[in-house]
A and B are shown apart, each in its own frame.
Chain A
Amino acid sequence: MQKGSHFYCDHCSKLTPEKKLTKTPVNGLERHFCCPGCELSFKILKQVGYDDFYNLQRKELGLSEERGAVILSEEEQIRMDSLYSEFVQGSGAIKLVYLKIEKIHCAACVFANEEIIRKLPGVLEFNINPGTHRSKIRWDNRLITLADILNTIANIGYYAYPFHPSKAKPTLDAETKDLTMRLGASALISMNVMLLAIGLYAGYFQGIDPQVRSFLQWINMIMTIPGVFFAGKPILQGAWYNIKTRNPGMDLLIAIGTLSAFFLSVWHVITGVGETYFDTANMLIFFILLGRYVESKAKQKILKETDKYDDYRVDTVTKIQDGIRINSGIDDVGKGDILEFYPGDILPVDGVIIEGTSAFDESVLTGESIPRQKNVGDQVISGSRNLNETFKMQVTSVGDGTIFSKVLELIEDSQLSKSPISRLVDKVSARFIYLILLFAAGSFFLWYVTSGMAVAFPIAISVLVIACPCALGIATPMAILVGTGESLKRGILIKNGEVLEELVKVDQVVFDKTGTLTTGIMKLIELHELAEKHVPEGLYSALAHAETEVYHPVARAIRTHFFATTGKYEPYSDFESHSGKGITFKTLNHSVAAGNVKLMEDFQIDFSGNLNLIKKIAESGHVPVLVSVDGELISILEIADEIRPEAKETLKKLAELKIPVKILSGDRKENVSQLAKALGLTQEQVQGELSPEEKADEIRKLIDSGKTVMMIGDGVNDAPALSLAQVGISMGEGSQISLDSSGVVLLNNSLPSVLKSIYFARITYGKIRQNLFWALVYNVVMIPLGALGVLIPVYAALAMSLSSISVVLNSLFLRRTVSSTLRRMGY
């Protein structure tokens, strides 16, 4: 294992300098570890007999093996495959499953699980959402099986089972129910114990019949047994696993406090000497449970909002097969099938309309409540609702490939994600607990020496309870849960906590032009009629009709414009499409040509009198389409990619936020500088004629100059730049949404959302800081109060729960802040 003065860590095989190494004997052999985490994991794996994996790992690294590599028995493989085939995704060796992990109740639990499981050889990704206790795990099936992972989780004291994220019902229910039961029990017992304890206190001051005193104490003791061991069971269990995994958490602190109060009192009852602290033991548990109950209810409330997606599942559809309508299960629908949908139907698959036209409500994905009208050739997306007409469509993607499924998966992932700041907090609070144990022992000792047991004991308990860093642990995840939920409601999907933190820091925004600042849809913006020429009636209606044969943005612009203005299609004949030039056709005994200069040259049509106009149109970045009738030029259509109406406003608001803007485009330089003029930007802020690679280079330059760059582009040709920028946002509709390369997905394809995502991130981050600040202040102020004996244990427990509850409530306030901020911004 040695190499120079460096050693390989026996767990993760990281080459570590000798002085940084932890050396521990395990089973008689001296082992080397790069960190205590590796040491812990190694011991656990050794204990449960999984250390064979180390050999496998070493083999891959070209190191010597200690023993033969582990080979999975075929039987085991089959068992696993059949049992979990329903849940496990991924066809190759790399598999993915969603797990729900039970018995997690604090940041340290999450920390312990993540630390241990992530370090298993073969585990590629493992994230636990501290809010929902759901986790996503990706592993290499050649190195480890799901059974092994589940067993390891069980071995460190948690229970994990696979579930299907999109099919899962709110799984918090069972846990909340259990918690409600224990909370109620604890409340009832605490009240009764308190009642008798008051009698005992009164007796302490005024004198009491020793027989009555003993009787009351005995009754209290009997009542406290279920109070501690039934109501407090989750806490005690948690503490036990804390010890087992050597990962101390808040449960351990509470359990030590409660159990020492309980057993000391039992001793006093039996010996008949000294006071009892049964009320303390019960109240501790009651307040801790109360805090958890509030937290779990709050989570339930937030998660309910994502539950609405369950309503958008459809089991059967009407399939058209050989001209006959048949009812088909959704699983039997494949790509290319023809489906028919009636008004009110929800679309379970993506497709293209092939017959009919209808309005669609896409609000579940976009947050946009105004229905969208779609016609033949338009794309319709899964999750949208057909509003008013029956139509037929051809399926383009099904199952996990649909946009709806992809978005659902992303939502699940975004809730699972953790921000770097919360990882840091987890680590700090896990260490913090050792400190508290030490501090409590220290204060007990000092008070014991100066004032004796009766004073020292409650103080030590107070310190243990009050120092609990649980508010610290939930400060970040709670705020992220609420913040991402709020942005999702408005059609902005922030992929994870890391993106959220980057969003806050953004100090350079880069836009692509086409499809981002412009709509990407060509429009006829002016019809230049050449005055002295006669236009036959119905010409433009026929032109609109003829253009339906061409799939080209310009053709679409012409068709849409003239169909809208004339309201009808005229018949035409002898249609011919001249690729890259235009079209020719006949209508009402006229022969018509519509296209660019080249087409006119081909047909020897004279356009020299209008060269200036054509030139002017081309210079402003627009497209001129020349229309001739019977060899004579009659009009010029000016067609352009329209600037999004919100573009100017968005840029203005970015300027107000003092975030510099740049435009990088692949379009011609004249077009780009034209756009800059229209949007009120300087020429230095724009660059044209860039290839996708050059765009990426520009982004890299900006990042190298220390900027946090947000890039907004269409997912298709800006993908390299998008994935390079710290925050990539892809605009676009339907299948164009590039879900992979961007960190923020705008489901509603609206430009102001770019701005809103920055607001959301800033508000959420501000809330995180606020939460962390209050949680810290609480600990800093309260620990000395506890140590000085100002707070009795019951108040300590109350204060601790209140601090957690205040963090939860403060996070919920985020919703209101978001709404009011957006209103102030004029959205």
Chain B
Amino acid sequence: MNVISFFEKNGMITSFLIIAIIMLIAEQISTRLLHKKIPGSAIAILLGLLLAYYGGMITGGEKGIADLPLFSGFKLVGGSMFRDFCIVSTALGVSFPVMIQAGKAGIISLALGLVVSFVVGICVGLAFGYQDAESLATIGAGTLTFIVGPVTGSALGASSDVIALSVATGVVKAIVVTVFTPLVATKIKLDNPHAAMVFGGLMGTTSGVAAGLAATDQKLVPYGALTATFYSGLGCLLCPSVFYLALKALM
């Protein structure tokens, strides 16, 4: 009997067990070693990222640790379907008055988040010697999220290595948001639903916002998700069209 293929066959259940063990280890590190200075959930997410790096190193695949047969269930449990389903389920804790009151700030942060990301990406692209509008727009789009980058790049006909750069930029953004949000949350007053909606709109990367807020305060998750969910879609709309044309006009 092949043990690995047994676990692969029962992939989803196996991943539940492995995640439970990861959570347990993270919780122990948090209470025993760090005296709860960093929450267990933040450490668990960090452990997850380390596993992802390790998995990528061994297999050379794109799905982190999920490319190992033993961890294949992570593709499903850690995929966008489960993630979005869980985010939606947190909505019952949402307060409508708070949401409506923060609506205006949320929309402003969304617009600003899209524009600022694109501009920052272009500035960095220029600093690294890229001159053509197509490459710059693709890198700018990748600075929005790792979904917007390749969508924009293929729409504008950018080269495949520039598209790879844009995806990598989006992934770095998601990871940096994940790791640093719980650490800077108090400094940037990210401790209320209003700020969480602004945060979701500014950052936009659903993976990063979801994980960063989860590690900070789970109650804030639905508010951040509410604005972030519009970000990638709007980015895919604006980057290859309005933003690209504006960039071309300026060059």
Indicate, yes or no, whether A interacts with B. Answer: no
